[in-house]
Amino acid sequence: MNKYDDLLKSKMSAESFAKLAALNNDEVMEFVGYAAELCEPDSIFVGDDSGADVAYCRQLAIDNKEETPLSIDGHTVHYDGYFDQARKKEVTKYLVPKEETLDDKLNQIDRGDGIAELESFQRGAYKGRQMLVRFFCLGPVNSEFGIPCLQITDSAYVIHSEDLLYRRGYKAFSNLEKGGEFFKFRHATGEVDERGTSKNYEKNRVFMDYTRNTVFSVNTQYAGNTVGLKKLSLRLAIRKADREGWLAEHMFIMRCNGPNNRKTYLCGAFPSACGKTSTAMIPGENIVGDDLAYFRVIDGEFRAVNVESGIFGIITDVNSKDDPVIWNLLNSPGEVVFGNVLVKDGKPYWIGMGEEIPKDGVNYCGKWQEGMLGPDGKPTTQSHKNARYTVQIDKLENKDPEWDKSEGHQVGGIIYGGRDSDISVPVREAYSWEHGVCTMGAMLESETTAATIGQEGVRKWNVMSNMDFLSMSVGRYLQNNLDFAKDIERPNVFGTNYFLKKDGEYLNGKLDKSVWIKWMELRIHGEADAIDSGCGLIPKYEDLKRLFKEVLDEDYTEKNYVEQFTTNIPELLAKLDRIEKIYSDIDDTPETMRNEMREQKERLEELRALKGDYVSPFSL
């Protein structure tokens, strides 16, 4: 008998207790029991994988007014508080035991102090509410990739979101060996205002106890802080992968369709606003996942799975012309949760949707009208710039039919996509796995835009597009990538940049990435030649000319080629200087990284001595 049995039986139905007890898992019972004792719910609901339990949670989100139905059947809208619209880095911290230290670049707090502060906010937080206990799985259930997860919350919206975004996991817990590892999440909405949104945003906390595979959050409703299986679990998974010899990455997975019905799988890491979603959703190709991937060596192959089963996507600028698949899904009956958009007469509106937007309605501010200032005195917009949609992968017209394959997909190529206006060519291939990881992944930069930041051209370093989610030192994470799958055939590595400019105009068309992807696919299979540019291999003109005609029915000129694929040596060397300075301050920088940077500089300086500062691809 567990010490919490009497308490749990007093709070839940016999059916709920039976579901919990049937798992025969002391750690599960302890976690649920302690949450009940600490948070003091009026009642507790335990759900399994049944459609009835999933439907109960969805309806509860509506009954509790966390979601409001819209005019299209199955569509709802959820609002977060005005000051609770994104992940909050300053309150997202690792709980670190006194005897341990983490990289000083990581936000952290003493474990004892953090637990005490967090529990002071969560104590009694479920009074007057129902505590929800649900089970999910990161990655395919009952596969080598799968990680069972236990979620406790008082928010039906959180559970509904996870039902769309993740695979059901009660069965995974049923099959879990005694003492088997799983991730745990405990969230509390906290006190709410008259709109039902978390009121005490200044007491918002998101703490990760990596010693117990646990995430806690309180006084917040925004999914990035409360849907623990999202980026919060990525931090736990990176440490688990470090212990076990695999990789957890912030990458999409897509299928490129090559000649003679050939299927080639590509994974890509792109910082925000660098083309990640649009690459994963290229017309004519197929999506497996848009955000997170686990890599393992299985049967001697480099394989990947989509960690998730849905998309929690930014809706700003989604329109019928550029995003037809998502647009159709967002305008058809079926489960969709909109977040922080403008609603009028039961219809959602958002910035950049390509339609006239009403000048009033309800949005993240409450009742809204054009020109209104927010509670912070700042101008407001029709929808929040970080407004979201939540849908299931399985509902996408362009999904890979095998997106949920339990053994994953063999990866043919890895892409690191940055954003700069004057340095990198649109696509290049690394000389080797080490060259790609070091000079494309570890040197990844994203250039800010005046529209979003107020100062154009600020370059932000973001190693593998995973900097915000690292739970160990940069050097150790980089070494893990270098060491992964040492003795097998590893994917080709590519770098992309869709944002090269001349005289203020972009040199790439929005759909040009379709051609770059096709070229990568051919290179992976040895069916296209390449030219050495001093910092990687670039396409030959005749191949691009043919591909532009075949893929986009466009004429690709020699002028296009020279403008896009000239090697910009001064800018490339300046970037190397910037990145070398960063890594000189990282004590555990791998020697391979230092060697690759040095060799890259030597190649570029040698090329400059022969050809000058700016080298046409026709001169190589």
Beta strands 342-344 and 347-349, pairing class: antiparallel
Q: Provide the token pair at 374.
A: 């927010």
| Spatial CA neighbour of 169 closest among 272, 23, 312 | 23
Residue whose C-alpha is closest to residue 372's, from 382, 358, 384? 382
Backbone angles phi, psi at 391, to 5 degrees: -140, 170
Residue 181 CB neighbour total at 10 angstroms: 13
Angstrom CA distances, 363 to 225, 374, 386, 389, stand at: 20, 11, 12, 14
Q: Are 274 and 285 in contact (CB under 8 A)?
A: no
**Alpha-carbon distance values, 562 to 205, 239, 419, 532 (Å):** 51, 44, 19, 15
- Cα(23)–Cα(46) distance, rounded to whole angstroms? 12
Cα 570 to Cα 561: distance, rounded to the nearest angstrom: 20
Distance CA 349, CA 356 (A): 9
Query: What are the CA-CA distances from residue 383 to residues 32, 77, 339 (Å)?
Result: 37, 12, 9
Q: Which of 57, 149, 274, 365 is catalytic?
A: 274
Tokens 């890594």 belong to: 583
Question: What DSSP assignment string belongs to 272-341?
Answer: TTSSHHHHHT-TTSEEEESS-EEEEEETTEEEEEES-SEEEEE-TT--TTT-HHHHHHHTSSS-EEEES-
Residues 6 or more apart whose CB falls under 8 angstroms from that of 15 comprise: none
Other C-beta atoms lying within 10 Å of the C-beta of residue 46:
24
Which two three-digit tokens encode residue 515? Answer: 């051609």
Whole-angstrom CA distances from 547 to 238, 276, 404, 499, 561 are 38, 22, 31, 20, 13
Q: Is 535 a catalytic residue?
A: no
Q: Report the amino acid identity of residue 581.
A: K
Task: Enumerate the active-site residues.
Answer: 274
